[in-house]
Structure 1
Amino acid sequence: GSELGNWALGHWTEEGYDLFENFPDLASALWAAEERHLVPHKFPNHHIPIPEHYLAEDATVAVETRAVMAWMDKNPFVLGANLQGGEKLVSYPFDTARPVKEVPAGARGSPDDYEDANPELQETPDHAIFRWLAISYASAHLTMTETFRGGCHTQDVTDAMGIVQGARWHPRAGSMNDFSYLHTNCLELSLYLGCDKFPHESQLQQEWENNKEALLTFMEQVHRGIKGVVTDQQGEPIANATIVVGGIDHHVVTGSAGDYWRILNPGEYRVWARAEGFNPSVKTCSVYYDIGATHCNFVLARSNWQRILEIMAMNRKQPLSPRQRLRQRQRLRQLQRL
Structure 2
Amino acid sequence: MNHYDVAIIGAGMAGASVASEIGGERSVLLLEAEDHPGYHATGRSAAFWTESYGGPLVQPLTSASRAFLENPPARFSSTGFLRPRGAVNIARADQTHLADQFLTDFADNELDLARWSWAQAASLMPGLKTQWTQVVYEPDCCDIDVAALHAAYLKDARRKGVALLCRAPVSQIRKVDGGWELVAGGEAHRAGQLVNAAGAWADNVARMAGVEPVGIQPLIRTMVQIETDPPSTQDMPLVVGLDGSFYFKPEAGGTYWLSPHDEIPAEPGDVAPDELSVAVAIDRFEKVLDVRVKRVVRKWAGLRSFAPDRLPVIGFDSVTEDYFWFAGQGGFGIQTAPATSKLARSLLLGEPRDDSLQMIDASLYAASRFAAET
Which bracket does the TM-score occupy, shorter chain normalised?
under 0.3
Q: Return the TM-score normalized by structure 1.
A: 0.21
Q: Return the TM-score normalized by structure 2.
A: 0.19
Q: Where is the strand percentage greater, Structure 1 or Structure 2?
A: 2
